[in-house]
Structure 1
Amino acid sequence: MNRIPLILAATALSAAPALAADVIYDEPPAPMAVVAPAAGWTGVYIGIQGGGAFNPESPDDLGLRTNGFAGPIIGGGVDAFGNNFDSSFDSSFIGGAHIGYDYQMGSVVLGAILDINALDVTQTASAFSNTPAFYTAERGLDYLATARLRAGYLVTPSALAYVTGGVAYGEVDYGFSTDSPAVTGVNPAAIVNQDEDDFGYTVGAGMEVLVTDNISFGAEYLYTNLGGGDSFTRLSGGPFDGSGTAVIAGNSTDFTSGGDFDFHTVTAKLSYRFN
């Protein structure tokens, strides 16, 4: 009988390792990857831009307007010029600086921007008479400032597509030249409103991408229209007052360059963001 407890004890000891081997331990969970949050768009930014200013359409032709008479101009009225009119738009580089502020609301970004640019675009309109002689009016712009709002949508957390629009301002310089022998020191070309402060509008769209938390790069298209302006040239004496020979006081002919001063710009933009 004394052997029975010994047999039971030996059986228990031999079974213990097997039971221990059947115990299952859970593996510790793998560490989760920590994703850095995307940089936000809210904040002030400053930057530079550069590109081109152009207009594929020719400006309106030089216009003629008689004052005080309806008679001939240079021997044949307006017909003295026939269809001898020409106009062109000279493109240029545009470049400058900007400052703005954006506010992000989920995937929507609203903001405002001010910029100023240097450029050298010119509208030229010429008429050629049967005399023969040329009459050329030029309207040029050497700087442009805009104040705009913009509204955008985040295509991705770091890529913003937007539309923009606002007010545009520039000083348009006006000039006139002719080789007509009828324009003399006694009867010179009188330029009215040689330089103009012109206000207009600008609208466009763009895309901007955050390349780092503080640096963004983008491309922008704008259409700018500064209006028709009030500059023109008044000629009197000789044929320009309808007399052909003598001077008739109060009679004159105006050479006008009608049509809006408008153009397109495409620029690349680099900004630093204080977010």
Structure 2
Amino acid sequence: MFKFISLASAAFLCSTALTFAADLTDNAVPPVAFETPAFTWTGAYIGISGGAGWLDGSTTKFGRYHDKQDFDGSVFGGFVGYNWQFSNGIVVGVEGDVEYNSNDEKFFGYRTFGTDWQGSVRGRVGYAFDRLMVFGTAGWTMANGHIEYPCVDENTTFSGWTAGAGIDYAVTDKVFLRGEYRYSDFGSKEIVRGMNVDFDQSIVKVGLAVKF
């Protein structure tokens, strides 16, 4: 009889222990899953860029004589900006740049005209496909034009508008690459007495930037 009671007690204790263990397993807190934050284009950035430029210039001398010239050269400079990305993938921003522009050529056979620096302030609108963003940009631009010939060395600042499009691609969370095309119309201005210069330029360039 005593043996029977002992076996029954042991069986009851084992059953209770198994039930308690099962309850602990059922009520266990699942492990916490940590999600990787989605990439965003929001933030400030600064970068460098360089490429090729094709400038078309025309000159009118005293309203009677005309000359046209193509100015092929290179550009190199830096840019800085800020982006805001919305939940629907739209990205808006503002950007400014300053570049050195090398493109001297001769007008009327002996007068050398060219630009040495240019800059712009623009708005940008784009759409983000995760780390790839396509964008359009437009705004105000300016350039310093200079003309040289015997006993004359003059320069003046031209201003106009610029517009273009490009692609930014983030290779890391902090670094992105850029490819861009821009057209700039710098308007017309009298650079020396009796001589008006009118020029516009197309630029293709690539860039590298750091995002903060």
Which protein has the larger Cα radius of gyration, Structure 1 or Structure 2?
1
Query: How is 1:153-172 mapped onto 2 (pairs within 5 angstroms)?
Result: 153-154=127-128, 156-172=129-145
Measure the CA separation in 2 of the matches of 1:123 and 1:165. 28
**Which whole-Å deviations, capped at 9, do the CAs of 1:196-233 have from their partners, x for residues lacking one?**
12221111111111111111111011111211111235
CA contact 2:190–2:196 (8 Å) conserved in 1:
no
Given the alignment, which residue of 117, 122, 126 partners 1:152? 126
Measure the CA separation in 1 of the matches of 2:188 and 2:156. 11
| Structure (1 or 2) with the greater strand fraction | 2
Q: Secondary structure at the match of 1:170?
A: strand
Given the alignment, which residue of 175, 196, 209 partners 1:271? 209
Counterpart position of 1:119 = 101
The letter for the 2-side match of 1:96 is G
Q: Please say if 1:110 is aligned against 2:108.
A: no
**Which whole-Å deviations, capped at 9, do the CAs of 1:109-143 have from their partners, x for residues lacking one?**
000111111111235321xxxxxxx5x43331111
Counterpart position of 1:41 = 41
Measure the CA separation in 2 of the matches of 1:224 and 1:121. 15
Task: Give TM-score scaled by structure 2 length.
Answer: 0.75
CA contact 2:58–2:199 (8 Å) conserved in 1:
no
Question: Over aligned residue pairs, what C-alpha RMSD do you find?
Answer: 2.7
Given the alignment, which residue of 175, 191, 196 partners 1:231? 191
The letter for the 2-side match of 1:125 is F
Counterpart position of 2:52 = 52
Q: Please say if 1:89 is aligned against 2:70.
A: yes
Given the alignment, which residue of 99, 102, 114 partners 1:140? 114
Q: Please say if 1:220 is aligned against 2:180.
A: yes
Structure 1: any 5+ residue segments left out of the alignment? Answer: 1-30, 67-77, 79-84, 127-133, 178-188, 234-253
Measure the CA separation in 2 of the matches of 1:257 and 1:176. 15
CA contact 2:139–2:163 (8 Å) conserved in 1:
yes
Q: CA deviation at 1:61?
A: 5.2
Percentage of identical aligned residues? 26
CA contact 1:89–1:122 (8 Å) conserved in 2:
no
CA contact 1:174–1:231 (8 Å) conserved in 2:
yes
Measure the CA separation in 1 of the matches of 2:176 and 2:73. 25
Runs of 4+ in 1 over 4 A off after TM superposition: none
Q: CA deviation at 1:172?
A: 1.1
Structure 2: any 5+ residue segments left out of the alignment? Answer: 1-30
The letter for the 1-side match of 2:123 is L
Measure the CA separation in 2 of the matches of 1:123 and 1:35. 58
RCO comparison, higher one (Cα < 8 Å, 6+): 1
Measure the CA separation in 1 of the matches of 2:67 and 2:102. 20
**Which whole-Å deviations, capped at 9, do the CAs of 1:127-166 have from their partners, x for residues lacking one?**
xxxxxxx5x4333111111111100012x21111110011
CA spacing shift, 1:64–1:42, aligned 2, 3 Å: same
CA spacing shift, 1:103–1:65, aligned 2, 3 Å: closer
Q: Secondary structure at the match of 1:60?
A: strand
Measure the CA separation in 1 of the matches of 2:154 and 2:45. 37
CA contact 1:171–1:198 (8 Å) conserved in 2:
yes
Aligned residues: 181
CA contact 2:142–2:186 (8 Å) conserved in 1:
yes
Task: Give TM-score scaled by structure 1 length.
Answer: 0.59
